[in-house]
Structure 1
């Protein structure tokens, strides 16, 4: 694997042969490869491989290994401290060929580490090294199943548009995490290695492009996917974490619209179990019918809000409720299923690019980060329920992108990434449009949807105001000096604009 460093043979007293890296970059993947000489009727359930890692600081992590076919087991780990680590691998029942110990050196690297919540301002994400992250995600239904050249080309295209996260896959009844029995039913004791290896490939390709992966539905139990019994579900969670815990760009979101298949207690237990298995080192959320029950939102494992609120009418202003959500439960907000251009629930409203663009800015300046899907069916119509394999979000660059919102999202992401956005929070009370993100006293970004004059409450001192065109990504030449307590400004024309107000001593 491309993420794994030079392999070295480590020999224990039992003369077991285990391939493991001698060194690995901080937040890179350490992977040991173990091969047993024994025959197991079901290697997924008859053997448990466990590894313990001892950090230079004295921290200790115990993680599971996983079976990967051909009598091969793997152990993956992501070291987060520079220095020499020790490790011990054991199998239960004991297997002399899968028991070993050794050490490796974790070296400094340019990797930023996994996604975190900003501890200073929980509206935002950072990477583990403290680098702020403004997420712009794209929805790829078949992330695990796209041919590698197609997926690589798709990710390159998306990266060029400013996307730095991928949401997907959503597995399907004919393509689940489980193997299938001869009669077509899921085998809740064995896993579908084609799917899991496809996910490995997707995580690798995304990591090479500095892109985070947010799964849509792995565990299933909703939307036509089988629901595993409790013991099998725990087997699945352990297997999933074992495979993904070495990828810095992994996050964990178990299923879509969990309310359709799980009780509140069940989903809370799933989140708790993932948090335990990952040692709290990766972000966890869960996709809801809207914005999750309060008990889920307040759970210690619940890292960020995952919102579903489709733009099914010409009502782009409705997303101001995201500011209230953050005020009530202060965690980052991913507008996961809101702006899906061409989606069959959004119909004409979801094909109107002006409506979509305005909604994107209301979401963004109310504190949300966007997951966009291109579900437009050529030549340009909204998707019908019978349409399968007809959209860019399903096929990637096996077809041409059809959505028209890409340029506007690129402009939006560049606007935010040029600001100290990580110091800003929603302040709808400060502006007449009710759409304002601000570092109060220093910086204000206000959305004006219709060219009307806007009023902004400011401290009594001088500020500099400029207008950003969300349609072109250009700044208007007009620059004004304003002061509080109430400034009133008129956009350059009757269309939508973004007003940026900076304290005069920060204006340059």
Structure 2
């Protein structure tokens, strides 16, 4: 079955949005229901030596369609090993030296090279059918004194009198008057000026959405207010884009575990929010391909989307990574296998439901013509096919190899037992006979 799941974003299309009829999924730039599955490192944009084209080509080659991109970390000393190759949104003319010994930032003077690179990155992604989640600010680094000391909004580092820590806590985490707050008018004005520049630079692109801040635990109101600022600014622009966390939950609010049962439960619990839920793994690096694969399948077969923070795509000796994620090529292929499986379904018509599994361990979602299931440990299950037509066919799918079994026929309209080929994890697709694959 062919779907428009991975349709390439292009000119004269509509911006990415929540699908009005199927709110668990996105409306793609072609207007069709969209499932996002992707992977990303953390230096894609900010490291000017990073070959983002090679990375995007890798994602596309595996049938993936999504990446998350940090635009500005706030300090050139992170992430390693960028150092002098780090690109920032501001010019640094001084006068005076910042805490890193370089000229101070002028928060009123924007760096044209930053925004030129931003447009090139967005264009390259769009040409390859990839959607980008653009992170405007990083709040994770604010809690680390050695990094906050180097931040452009530190009082000693800019010529504009902006102080992101007026209480002198040694961090940028003060939710009342600090960087992430509504109580710091100078910092807020500078943030808004930067956001205007970013929005203006990428407004032409349909395949982007904005994430205000990574790991802001300090002021939800600050983050929501900047989402509203973006929306207000875009009212006078040709295109309007989704903002996180106003239109979508950020990753820390969805689920942050590698336990498949808890992933499934969290996604079903939040389904009544009627918005796409992205299982994003930005809380820890996981070296176990089998655990990542099982968690990904559990999320997507529970009605969610998936985005993997991938250290194999991060350059540097510490991670042994490269632009193509060669160290975890097998895992990337397994991401693509799930994408291929879902392309055989009309996923947008399906709803995940525990009542579909009457016996055994599986996660299942169904419509009136298809049922897709994932068995994280194989074995035997009984699935409720009462809503499906009388004449069905079923096929097993190997998540590790990406291969299908031969189809077999079975009756619908009643519960049916299934025995997985072995004790590994397996996908299963049951659908009306003659529907095709």
Q: Which residue of structure 2 lines up, in the alignment, with residue 96 of structure 1? A: none
Instruction: Tell me how far apart the structure 2 counterparts of residues 140 and 374 of structure 1 sit (CA, whole Å).
Output: 5
**Is 1:416 aligned to residue 352 of structure 2?**
no
User: Displacement of 1:454 after TM fit?
Assistant: 0.9
User: Displacement of 1:246 after TM fit?
Assistant: 1.4
Match of 1:233 among 170, 191, 200: 191
TM-score under structure 1 normalisation? 0.65
**Is 1:188 aligned to residue 132 of structure 2?**
no
**Number of residue-to-residue matches in the alignment:** 363
Note the alpha carbon deviations across 1:205-261, whole angstroms, 9 max, x for none.
112212222113x2345423543712112212222111111122222112101224x
With over 3 angstroms needed to count, the CA separation of the structure-2 counterparts of 1:447 and 1:248, relative to structure 1, is same
Note the alpha carbon deviations across 1:248-294, whole angstroms, 9 max, x for none.
2222112101224xx122112111111122239443343xxxxxxxx
Q: Can you give the 5+ residue segments of structure 1 that lack an aligned partner in the other structure? A: 1-25, 29-79, 81-111, 287-295, 297-301, 378-382
User: Displacement of 1:331 after TM fit?
Assistant: 0.5
Instruction: Tell me how far apart the structure 2 counterparts of residues 405 and 465 of structure 1 sit (CA, whole Å).
Output: 26
C-alpha contact (below 8 Å) 1:374/1:401 kept by paired residues = no
Q: Which residue of structure 1 lines up, in the alignment, with residue 294 of structure 2? A: 358
With over 3 angstroms needed to count, the CA separation of the structure-2 counterparts of 1:264 and 1:310, relative to structure 1, is closer
Match of 2:210 among 242, 252, 256: 252
C-alpha contact (below 8 Å) 2:378/2:426 kept by paired residues = yes
User: Displacement of 1:334 after TM fit?
Assistant: 1.6
Q: Which residue of structure 2 lines up, in the alignment, with residue 177 of structure 1? A: 89
Q: Which residue of structure 1 lines up, in the alignment, with residue 82 of structure 2? A: none
With over 3 angstroms needed to count, the CA separation of the structure-2 counterparts of 1:470 and 1:273, relative to structure 1, is same
**Is 1:332 aligned to residue 276 of structure 2?**
yes
Q: Secondary structure at the match of 1:258?
A: coil
**Is 1:463 aligned to residue 416 of structure 2?**
no
Q: Secondary structure at the match of 1:495?
A: coil
Note the alpha carbon deviations across 1:130-166, whole angstroms, 9 max, x for none.
1332222221322224557822222222211112222
**Is 1:270 aligned to residue 226 of structure 2?**
yes
C-alpha contact (below 8 Å) 2:302/2:352 kept by paired residues = yes
Note the alpha carbon deviations across 1:320-365, whole angstroms, 9 max, x for none.
0343244220111122226xxxx8x34xxx2222221111110110
C-alpha contact (below 8 Å) 2:71/2:137 kept by paired residues = no
Q: Which residue of structure 1 lines up, in the alignment, with residue 61 of structure 2? A: 160
Note the alpha carbon deviations across 1:100-120, whole angstroms, 9 max, x for none.
xxxxxxxxxxxx442122111
Q: Which residue of structure 1 lines up, in the alignment, with residue 248 of structure 2? A: 304
Match of 1:442 among 347, 362, 369: 369
Q: Which residue of structure 1 lines up, in the alignment, with residue 418 of structure 2? A: 489
Instruction: Tell me how far apart the structure 2 counterparts of residues 145 and 170 of structure 1 sit (CA, whole Å).
Output: 6
Relative CO higher for 1 or 2, CA cutoff 8 Å, sep ≥ 6?
2
TM-score under structure 2 normalisation? 0.74
Q: Can you give the 5+ residue segments of structure 2 that lack an aligned partner in the other structure? A: 1-8, 77-86, 99-103, 143-150, 154-178, 180-185
With over 3 angstroms needed to count, the CA separation of the structure-2 counterparts of 1:497 and 1:253, relative to structure 1, is same
Pairing 1:71-86 to 2, within 5 Å after superposition: none
Instruction: Tell me how far apart the structure 2 counterparts of residues 480 and 496 of structure 1 sit (CA, whole Å).
Output: 22
**Is 1:374 aligned to residue 310 of structure 2?**
yes
Instruction: Tell me how far apart the structure 2 counterparts of residues 392 and 369 of structure 1 sit (CA, whole Å).
Output: 27
Q: Secondary structure at the match of 1:143?
A: coil
C-alpha contact (below 8 Å) 2:267/2:277 kept by paired residues = no
Q: Secondary structure at the match of 1:446?
A: strand
Q: Secondary structure at the match of 2:420?
A: coil
Q: Return the structure number with greater strand share.
A: 1
Match of 1:426 among 352, 362, 365: 352
Note the alpha carbon deviations across 1:360-406, whole angstroms, 9 max, x for none.
110110112111232149xxxxx9xxx9664477x524x74445411
C-alpha contact (below 8 Å) 1:316/1:359 kept by paired residues = yes
With over 3 angstroms needed to count, the CA separation of the structure-2 counterparts of 1:160 and 1:372, relative to structure 1, is same
Instruction: Tell me how far apart the structure 2 counterparts of residues 411 and 474 of structure 1 sit (CA, whole Å).
Output: 8
**Is 1:198 aligned to residue 124 of structure 2?**
no
With over 3 angstroms needed to count, the CA separation of the structure-2 counterparts of 1:278 and 1:417, relative to structure 1, is farther
Q: Secondary structure at the match of 1:405?
A: helix
Higher radius of gyration, 1 or 2:
1
Q: Which residue of structure 2 lines up, in the alignment, with residue 407 of structure 1? A: 333
Pairing 1:205-220 to 2, within 5 Å after superposition: 205-216=124-135, 218-220=136-138
Q: Which residue of structure 1 lines up, in the alignment, with residue 200 of structure 2? A: 242
Instruction: Tell me how far apart the structure 2 counterparts of residues 200 and 496 of structure 1 sit (CA, whole Å).
Output: 41
